[in-house]
Amino acid sequence: MADQNKRLDSNVSGNFYVDATCINCDTCRQLAPASFEEVGDFSAVTSQPTSEGSLHQAYQALLSCPVGSIGTERGEPVRMQEAMASFPLHLEEGVYYCGFNSEKSFGANSFFLEHPDGNWLIDSPRYLKHLVEAFERKGGLSHIFLTHKDDVAEAEKYAAHFGAKRIIHRADLEAAPGAEWIIEDVDSSQILPEFQIIPVPGHTAGSMALLYKNRFLFTGDHLWWDSKQQMLRAPSQQVWRKRVLLDSLQKLLDYRFEWVLAGHGDGIRLSAAAMQSQLQALIERRQPARMPS
Ligand code: SF4
């Protein structure tokens, strides 16, 4: 629950505000970019939402903030309920953004995937009655894909409730030692029709991407979209091995996909050809500088 006494001076005056407990995870800026911006080390409300659309997004951000740093001076219960009901948020073709990002994964995004042979969760949101019931209405969960050790959050609770199999790479197993399906491979594997696991070590030793339907690439913290710069990005800090990360980026050139859906950072949909160009440009930017001969 946000505290008006901790309201940051960087907020514009008005109903919505961010308080000093913000961990600068970016969730609000992704969900409601018209209202929230990064100011210094925190997010702030730089434009009060006034239209129906921007108000809805601001309440979605309030609900998804992992540490409850977003508050309002006066509550609007109906708008809050409408925002709550919008989660999980449908993106396309049975792929949803869960919302309710968890502090345990530093506010990482998680996704729900509706499939006739069993639904999937990709990384974990907070364990919340609203989401549990929403997943139940859609037929529960059969698999929980864990992109890497940092974004496991409350996967164990979802696995226990739904009898779902957690999938994690052996090299990141410390984060989910009881996982039901451990990936040992370094090569990609088609584990089920339409589901391909692509190990992408670099950020962590056990980072993996999940390619679904040759359209959706769930990347964890390996790759994301920077909407300000309009380009793909990969981590340059908190990297297990930089050379390995570059090899893992290169590996993705072998695949066709249109969506990048990341744990941290924006998601994006481009044409498959534009995505390839973006990826190629990222790899070129990340090549080590050559020594003058
Ligand atoms: S979602 Fe919450 S913690 Fe994350 S940047 Fe916004 S206000 Fe800060």
Q: How far is the CA of 32 from the centre of ligand 1 (A)?
A: 11
Alpha carbon of 285 to ligand 1 centroid (Å): 29
* Mean pLDDT value across residues 78-93: 98
pLDDT bin (cut points 50, 70, 90) of residue 75 is confident
Closest-lying ligand 1 atom to the alpha carbon of residue 24:
5
Provide mean pLDDT across the span 221-241.
96
Ligand 1 midpoint to CA 23 (Å):
6
Residues 6 or more apart in contact with residue 35 via CB below 8 angstroms: 16, 28, 45, 46, 47, 48, 49, 54, 57, 58, 61
4-84 CATH fold: Alpha-Beta Plaits (3.30.70)
User: What is the rounded average pLDDT of the residues 177-194?
Assistant: 93
pLDDT at 290 (0 to 100): 59
Residue 90's pLDDT is 98
Average pLDDT over the chain, rounded to whole?
Answer: 96
- pLDDT-derived band at 291, boundaries 50, 70, 90: low
Point out the ligand 1 atom lying closest to the alpha carbon of residue 61.
Answer: 1
Give the pocket of ligand 1 (CB within 6 Å): 18, 22-28, 43, 65-67, 69-70, 107
Residue nearest to ligand 1 atom 1, measured at CA: 65
Number of continuous H segments (helices) and E segments (strands) in the chain = 7, 19
What is the rounded CA–CA span in Å between residue 171 and residue 167?
Answer: 12
Taking each helix axis from N to C end, the angle separating 242-251 and 272-286, rounded to the nearest 10 degrees, works out to: 160
pLDDT for 7-18, tens place per residue?
999 999 999 999
Domain ranges of the chain: 4-84, 87-286
260, pLDDT greater than 80:
yes
- The residue contributing the CA closest to ligand 1 atom 6 is 28
Per-residue pLDDT band for 288 (boundaries 50, 70, 90) equals confident
| pTM, full prediction | 0.96
Residue with tokens 């006739």, as numbered in its chain: 116
- What 3-state DSSP class applies to 29? helix
Assigned token pair, 170: 């052996």
- Res. 35: pLDDT tops 80: yes
Q: Which atom of ligand 1 is nearest to the CA of 70?
A: 7
* pLDDT tens digits along 237-254: 999 999 999 999 999 999
CA of 35 to the centre of ligand 1 (A): 12
91 neighbors 109 (Cβ within 8 angstroms): no
For the residues 47-61, what does the mean pLDDT come to? 98
- Look at the block and give the residue holding tokens 């073709």: 93
Helices 129-137 and 155-162 meet at what angle, rounded to 10?
40
Contacts within 8 Å (CB) and 24+ apart, 155-164: 155/121, 155/123, 155/124, 157/127, 158/121, 158/124, 158/127, 158/132, 161/132, 162/135, 164/121, 164/140
Q: 87-286 maps to which CATH number?
A: 3.60.15.10
